[in-house]
Chains A and B, each alone.
Chain A
Amino acid sequence: MKPIDQARNALAFLEDDTHEHAFDQLIWGLRERRDAAAREVPEWEQLRTLASEIKEHTLSNLARYLELFEARAKRNGVQVHWARDAHEHNQIVYDILSSHNVEWLVKSKSMLTEECDTRAFLGQRGIEVAETDLGERIQQLDDEPPSHIVGPAFQKTPQDVADLFHRVYGSDPNRPDPVYLAQVMREQTRPLILDAQAGMTGANFAVAETGAVVTVTNEGNADLSANVPKLLICSVGIEKVIPGVEQLAVFIRLLTRSATGERITQYTSHFAAPRMGGEMHIVLVDNGRSQRLADERFWPSLKCIRCGACMNTCPVYRRSGGLSYGSTYMGPIGIITMPSVDIHRHSELPYASTINGSCSNVCPVQINIHEQIYEWREVMGAKGEFSATKKAAMKVADKLLSNPRAYRVAAEAGGSALGVLPRFAIYNRLNAWGRRREIPSPAEETFHQWYARNRTGAAQPPETPAETTEAKAVDDERA
């Protein structure tokens, strides 16, 4: 399969200014609310450090905590299953459902089941799955994957949703009013929930001490999906386990504040045992996680608690939309997790970043995201996973950057060229920076030209290390 061209995919999103502007505003608003929420908590940075240390401790003892979790869950009367990959997960879920003759099931949002493409797997075998999270259901109805891990439909405007609901439900297309649209969804989805033969949820956390699966939602849909039917299946990534409720408190305080700027979600729910007269299953899924744990550079990405803060702060994500990444996880966290799933397919993703470090600064579990993005670029380079355009550009850059004189000539020529080149020469397919963006007007002179004009004959610039090639080149030029 060809590598995903994130930059080209983003063009489709940028075609329409309404979407670009609305999305950017919405997503940046989340980032601003996150900042306000963090400022309100004096111990915020201490909580981030604690959260990071707890996750690192757990991941360095992961086998033991998984065994503890399993033992406690079994003691609670829960049936625990293990799946090495997506297919095994889907097969286990299918076997449970078919042994109960389930044809109809409701599900709350779970990135893991997106990862496993569970809905399609079950659908092909005659089991219909209805998403009950509003955003996830919108994406399901429109046959699109999530564009954001917290708000799957953030890339759609209210008018898009009004049109979609009109198409699917026959509701009023001229009422792009979120209150009305949420009401339409409630009326349509409630009967599905009440009639469901089984429920599925994901997990934000799995608590080893108590065996509980914890879900964090605003809508109450996880509580309904888990409680109304007698059969419950929870899909849990193995990295979601944490030691106990004392540690859970740290994550609960960080998660929603980082995601939306609220202190907590409306429903923080702990499912430890089957409901009265019911049956509860937990499927623990590896799907590449143990392999990532083995990589000394990239294992810290397993600390992720799926808040989406790194996406919200990322200028590339905000300006290109989540679908452009063509992957289950998008934005900075997607860039550092997806290549370990399929390196060739995701070989271009590490370049969808300015490496400004903002993602690492907002991450509630202190993942060094931007450093990992850089390291993935090194991996792609070493493995020859470079597109032809990038290879050519890198070759030129290599020549220029290793020869100061050539660099200076190129910089001066480049500056002058930008001023006189016709638009088609700058804004073309080969220059990703010229797509949907005006290149800034060039400076009238380069720094070296300015320096030569103002300081010739003056003392050595104090900050210039005398022994570097660059400094020597300056001397050479003067001589």
Chain B
Amino acid sequence: MSVREDILTAIREHHPPPRELPEVPDFHRATDNSLSDLFSRALARLDGKTVAEPPTDLQMWLTETFPDAGRICSAVPELEGTVTPAEFSDWAAPADVDVTVVRTPLGVAETGSVLVTEKELEVNTIVVLAQHLVVLLDPADLVENIHDAYHHPSFQQAAYAALLSGPSGSADIGGKTVHPAQGVTTLTVILSPRPASEAIPEGATR
């Protein structure tokens, strides 16, 4: 008998009595706060920043916010940058990126999370190896909670899907969270509607 069959047989012989799979409600809650407000407050808990008013000139905002940044990786049409993800043949190469700019297809108000997949990133490491991460989020792409978030088609289709909820951190020394750990030093989410020309994505495809 193969190892696989051996394990599965052992399990089949010893299953506990059958139990029903419960329905999971959506747990929507009535609130006076807008999803954007809830989102930015949740993101702030893990030291992520929200820019509520999109800058009229993204390039200028970037220069002012990250004056020392030389290498800008842009994965969005709104910004030129100095390098695009397609230019990285080696996935370790984005280690020299100062700022990555990417648009998210989904924001989660409950947790202050933004979703990224290989569809937005092309090279997944641009979102973790860069020193700073700037994410454009259309407020129309916000959902209330994690239950809603998992309805997004990316979770069915993407090879890599990550919910990012703050700059990388660690509380492993002394229990107090410090930044950065191995990922980005700062995470800034700009609430910025999609350009009219850009269609709302159907979700990532592999």
> Which residues of A does B touch, CB under 8 Å?
22, 26, 29-30, 42-43, 46, 50, 53-54, 56-57, 59-63, 66-67, 76, 82-84, 88, 132-135, 138, 151-154, 156-158, 161, 178-179, 181-182, 185-186, 189-190, 193-195, 209-210, 212, 218-221, 223-224, 227-228, 230, 238, 243, 245-250, 252-253, 260, 262-276, 284, 286, 290-291, 293-294, 296, 299
**Is B107 in the interface zone, CB < 8 Å from A?**
no
- CA A43 to CA B110, docked complex, whole Å: 14
Given A61-B15, A190-B182, A220-B181, 9 further pairs, Cβ under 8 A: A26-B175, A151-B175, A158-B173, A220-B184, A223-B183, A246-B147, A269-B160, A284-B7, A293-B15
One digit per residue, 1 when the CB lies within 8 angstroms of any chain A CB and 0 when it does not, for chain B 57-99 equals: 0000000000000000000000000000000000110010000
Q: Which residues of the other chain, A, contact B8 by a CB distance below 8 angstroms?
A: 63, 66-67
Taking a contact as CB atoms closer than 8 A, the residue among B118, B164, B165 that contacts A276 in the complex is B118
Please, how many residues of chain B have a CB less than 8 angstroms from a CB on the other chain? 74
A360 to B147, CA, bound (A): 25
In angstroms, Cα B44 to Cα A91, docked, is 44
Q: Contact check: which of B24, B110, B129 meets A247 at CB < 8 Å?
A: B24
- Looking at B134-142, B148-156, B194-202, the stretch in contact with chain A turns out to be B148-156
CB neighbours of A179 from chain B (8 A): 178
**Contacts A161-B173, A182-B170, A253-B146; A266 near B183 (Cβ below 8 A):** yes
Check if A178 sits within 8 Å of B6, measured CB to CB.
no
Name the CB-closest residue of A to B21: A57
Q: Any chain A CB within 8 A of the CB of B192?
A: no
A275/B181 in contact, CB under 8 A: no
Inside 8 A of A268's CB, which chain B residues have their CB?
113, 162-163, 165
What B residues does A53 contact at CB under 8 A? 19-22
Would A54 and B166 be within 8 Å (CB), given that A63-B8, A178-B173 are in contact? no
Could you pull out 16 A-B pairs where Cβ atoms are within 8 angstroms?
A26-B174, A60-B19, A84-B6, A134-B170, A189-B182, A190-B95, A193-B182, A212-B155, A228-B92, A249-B146, A250-B147, A262-B46, A263-B110, A267-B168, A267-B183, A275-B118
Q: How many A-B residue pairs have C-beta atoms within 8 angstroms? Tell me.
A: 249
Q: Are A293 and B11 in contact (CB-based, < 8 A)?
A: yes
Q: List 8 A-B pairs, minimum CB-CB distance, nearest first.
A: A220-B183, A294-B14, A135-B172, A219-B181, A273-B159, A220-B168, A290-B10, A26-B175
A322 to B183, CA, bound (A): 28
Q: Which of A179, A209, A243 has the most CB of B within 10 A?
A: A179
CA distance A63 to B8 in the complex (A): 6
A79 to B20, CA, bound (A): 31
* Min C-beta distance of B76 to chain A, whole Å: 20
Q: Which of B15-35 contact A (CB under 8 A)?
A: 15-22, 24-25, 27, 29
Given known A-B contacts A133-B172, A134-B172, A182 and B178 have beta carbons under 8 A apart: yes
Would you give the shortest CB distance from A175 to chain B, in whole angstroms? 12
Contacts of A243 in B (CB 8 A): 21
